[in-house]
Amino acid sequence: MANAYRYLGKNLPRKDATDIVTGRATFLDDFKPAGMLYGKALRSPHPHALITHIDVSEARQLPNVHAVLTHKDVPPEWLTGLPNHRAVLDRKVRHVGDGVALVAAKTPEIALKALRLIKVEYEVLQPVFDVDEAVKPGAPQLYEQFPGNEFTPGCPVFSPEPFNHVKRGNIEEGFKEADFVVEGTYGYEKFPCPLPPESPAIIARWDTPTDVTIWATTQSPTMLKLIMETKMGDTNIRCISFNVGGSYGNKQTVPMPVFYAAALAKAANRPVKFSLSKAEQLLTYDLRLSNRVHAKIGVRKDGSVSAVQGEWLVDTGVSSDLGQGQIAVGLGEAQVMMAKCKNWDLEGRLIATNRSASGICRGFGGQELKSALIPLWGQAMKKGHLDPVECFKKNFVQPGDGYFWRDGKWWVCREVDYVKTMEETAKKFGWREKWKGWNTPTSVNGTKAVGVGVGVHGNADAGEDESEAYVRLDPFGNAILQCCVAESGMGQRNSLCKMVAEIVQVPLESVRITPSDTLVNPFDFGLAGSRGSRAIGSACTRAASDAIRQLLERAAPVLKVTPEELATKDGMIFVKNNPEITIPWIAVMGPMNTITGMGHYEADYSMPNFMIFFVEVEVDLETGQVEILNIAEGTDVGRIIDPLNLKMQFHGAFGSAGVDSAIYEESILDTETGRIMTGNMIDYKWRPFTDFPPFDTVVLESEFDTHVFKAIGVGEITGAPAPGAILMAISNAVGVDIMDYPATPAVILKTLGKS
Amino acid sequence: MKQDKIRLTVNGSSHDLSIGVNLGEIAPSETLVHTLRETLGLTGAKESCDHGACGCCTVIMDGQAVPSCMVLTVECHGKEITTIEGLQDPETEALDPLQQSFIDNMAFQCGYCTPGIIMTSKALLEKNPRPDEEEIKEALAGNFCRCISQYQVIEAVKQAAKNGR
């Protein structure tokens, strides 16, 4: 069927394209409120220590220093983390790089000079870096209130009762039904850095003693407001974001920079910018979760999973931002992947260790769990000589299958069935020709061995949380979309304008979207979990339809017809079966009025999204070097809103988002000193322009019952199935199981007994 | 020879700057990206890694793409510098064909690394108007793009080169 839409499914220049290619687009670093000071932090050299003495008198006397804060001076009621546990500054430091003192000064150089004048004495404590060690009796304790270094379960924003344990069916019976049972410990433990090019930064300005404006590098201003207000006593936050220089889920609530900027701004009574250097971003800001799974899986001869049992130890470093929520989503996503399994006993535990915090990032728990779980499941498939694609087809959720989601409620899948997507993507990749069996290369040519692998992922959060939007029509044929959506690269502000233009039937230039500012916009949870297309799209399209309904209702008496007989195009209202009869909007509204439509979306977790990722790798058996030869990834998005932006979301699977966390991206922790050694963009490895392999995409459009445009988002999850697929491909190429992330040459040669 | 003034030509306009440590002067330790952004108000170049690894601050100096965080401003006396703000036609404000090609190929996502990528590509095309794909990738090897717009950037540069023939 030909595309009947004016804008949807078409590649049109993004509305902000000219600003971006001319350097005019404003990022936080390009903005400066009057009187702004610069904040800097003195950071701990020890992974675990008590501050026994701190002297800031010299720093305070330095000219043009406006505030110096220690743990004695920060607002005591301000506590971030989940549950609230992390002070702005504490007498105890818990990782190398933890905050010790803060300075606000006229210039960054003066602030740094002041930091050097601060004298600190520490009582060094024993650190702990390993999750299994951290939970043992007698281990060093990070927090008094979390004995055994285990954070209290539960994420109240997601569910009133904690959801950290999937327990259903009869686990013993499940294993009895299994033909192949495997058990073991698998990990995904190198907490790579999401590394957006724009480092996290916050500017805070107190407008009254309780009202603070936070200009933030956040992809979700309302989420920042909603969550950080619960951490800062009696504070009202107005949060504004500009263009955001990448986030990948990593710049959401931006907790510590918000605390530092806001505390300094309060003390100095001036606006303060707290911007992380690249080293601070890599060494002290939120990384991906680290995790280790001790688990057992039972699989029947036909490939269906009969039982999953285990303990999932999630190492979140020094602090949990939303780790309990990530565990809840991860457990949900495991069930979505193994939806035919009736017998579960899988528990997630969130553990503190003495390294910088893990936080929110793309993948959000599920990627971490499954990057460990899929290799274990693969061992069972191997025992049964089962084809992994067939196993995924056999087990992935289909309409009628149920799962406990992050809200702790039982949801039954409707609408979405991804078997066809799996088959078509497998065909495009050439799976049938390339797959030769477990630990069996596709081909070997001298020292070069080729292997293939596959992974899947799906997330019901594509329908998460609440959104509100207003669409205001003016008399001159323009629509103003009021919705609190930031631009951090996904082009979502533009896509939402396209949806509104499609309903209001005006040129795309006539649709404008308000700045991403919590003061001027209604509630929107933000860009998270691929929710933009469905959740925010629903609110915006409903608001647009509501505005048009009001317009036509007001036009009906003027034209002496019923509203149902009317339609509008390009600012004109006409009678559908007699388009000669036409009047402009202004004839209905007058020159001094506007019409506002409202739209709302409520969370619905019954429709997970989906990705299947195929990869072919070549391993040099002499050097252990892995090269990706090609990738094919497939999904079904219901309907494509923006083809090129969608394609680029697929490409975003590289980096710590997935692919490269399996080959070379890692934060390297020196457990002797507690320091992360990868504190710059040379030591921290990333994929350069010269290294991008062919990448095929398969996109089905099955028109799901989501909203008027039948679309569901997938952006978050394109990288999530990649790590497991890549280990599988490498293991098949070399003929031996490679189970450590990242599979660097050292890991591969060691496993092959060559080093 | 001790010099207390330098002259930079940026996007065709010359600027006389005093060297020193007082307010309004260019400190000997100041990097070019800082001078461009803070003194001249040209904020298109982004200061990201601040150690020459990511290319977000790339400008063209005497025909070469350079990371402006790795150049001291005091070293730039007499240099001709072009920033992203200097690519448009100053009279008509028409976009450079390379900028237009980035729009046509949607060769960006968040756009933070885009000015640097465009300037690197521009320097390449000035020197080598008909680069092949490998030459484009090689030229851009020092530019970090984390959203992964690389596939579209390569298309955009190829198309700009093709249209320029």
Residue by residue, DSSP assigns B82-135 as E-GGGSS-TTT-PPPHHHHHHHHTT--SS-SSHHHHHHHHHHHHHH-SS--HHH
- Domains, chain A, in order of start with CATH, read 17-25+465-601 (3.30.365.10), 31-125+197-247+251-284 (3.90.1170.50), 290-462+606-751 (3.30.365.10)
Residue B164 has pLDDT above 90, yes or no: no
- The average confidence (pLDDT) of chain B is 96
The one-character DSSP state at A273 is E
In the predicted model, residues of chain A with pLDDT beneath 50 are 1
Within an 8 Å CB–CB cutoff, is residue A278 touching chain B?
yes
Say whether A29 and B103 touch across the interface (CB within 8 A): no
A vs B: CB pairs below 8 A: 156
Within an 8 Å CB–CB cutoff, is residue B97 touching chain A?
no
Helix, strand, or coil (residue A303): coil
Please write the tens of the pLDDT for every residue from A608-655: 999 999 999 999 999 999 999 999 999 999 999 999 999 999 999 999
Shortest CB distance from B56 goes to which of A17, A25, A197?
Answer: A197
List of long-range contacts for A556-560, beta carbons under 8 Å, 24+ apart:
A558/A583, A558/A587, A558/A588, A559/A583
Within an 8 Å CB–CB cutoff, is residue B45 touching chain A?
yes
**C-alpha to C-alpha distance for A406 and A162, rounded to whole angstroms:** 9
Q: Which of B87, B78, B75, B93 is nearest to B121 (CA)?
A: B87
CB atoms within 10 A of CB A211: 13
Helix, strand, or coil (residue A425): helix
For residue A196, the chain B residue with the least C-alpha distance is B146
User: What does chain A come to in residues?
Assistant: 755
Per-residue model confidence (pLDDT) at position A429 = 98
Please work out, in degrees rounded to the nearest 5, the angle formed at the alpha carbon of residue A322 by the alpha carbons of A318 and A323.
Answer: 65
Per-residue model confidence (pLDDT) at position A1 = 44
Within an 8 Å CB–CB cutoff, is residue A248 touching chain B?
yes
Output the CA–CA distances (angstroms, integers) from residue A164 to A227, A376, A463, A565, B148, in the order listed.
21, 21, 21, 54, 34
User: What does chain B come to in residues?
Assistant: 165
Per-residue model confidence (pLDDT) at position A3 = 66
Residues in chain B closer than 8 A to A689 (CB atoms): 137-138, 140-141, 143, 145, 150, 153-154
Q: Smallest CA–CA separation between B121 and chain A, in Å? A: 12
Output the CA–CA distances (angstroms, integers) from residue B77 to B3, B4, B7, B15, B18, in the order listed.
10, 11, 5, 10, 11
Q: Which of A231, A332, A328, A248 is nearest to A288 (CA)?
A: A248
Beta bridge partners of A273: A38, A203
Q: Which of A656, A639, A628, A604 is nearest to A714 (CA)?
A: A639
Say whether B95 and A18 touch across the interface (CB within 8 A): yes
- Domains, chain B, in order of start with CATH, read 5-86 (3.10.20.30), 97-163 (1.10.150.120)
Within an 8 Å CB–CB cutoff, is residue B7 touching chain A?
no
Say whether B137 and A686 touch across the interface (CB within 8 A): no
Please work out, in degrees rounded to the nearest 5, the angle formed at the alpha carbon of residue B151 by the alpha carbons of B150 and B153.
Answer: 60
**C-alpha to C-alpha distance for A36 and A59, rounded to whole angstroms:** 19
Q: Which of A147, A144, A150, A152 is nearest to A131 (CA)?
A: A150
Cα first-last separation, chain A: 58
Side chain identity, residue A260: Y
* Token pair of A276 as six digits: 């992380």
- Pair type for strands A236-241 and A211-216: parallel
Cβ(A297)–Cβ(A380) below 8 Å: yes
Name residues 467-506 of chain A within 8 A of B (Cβ). Answer: 487-491
For residues B83-102, average pLDDT? 96
Please write the tens of the pLDDT for every residue from B122-140: 999 999 999 999 999 999 9
Say whether A644 and B88 touch across the interface (CB within 8 A): no
**C-alpha to C-alpha distance for A739 and A186, rounded to whole angstroms:** 7
Within an 8 Å CB–CB cutoff, is residue B21 touching chain A?
no
Residue B2 has pLDDT above 70, yes or no: no
Say whether A21 and B102 touch across the interface (CB within 8 A): yes
pLDDT bucket at B165, cuts 50 / 70 / 90: low
Q: Which of B69, B119, B153 is nearest to A681 (CA)?
A: B69
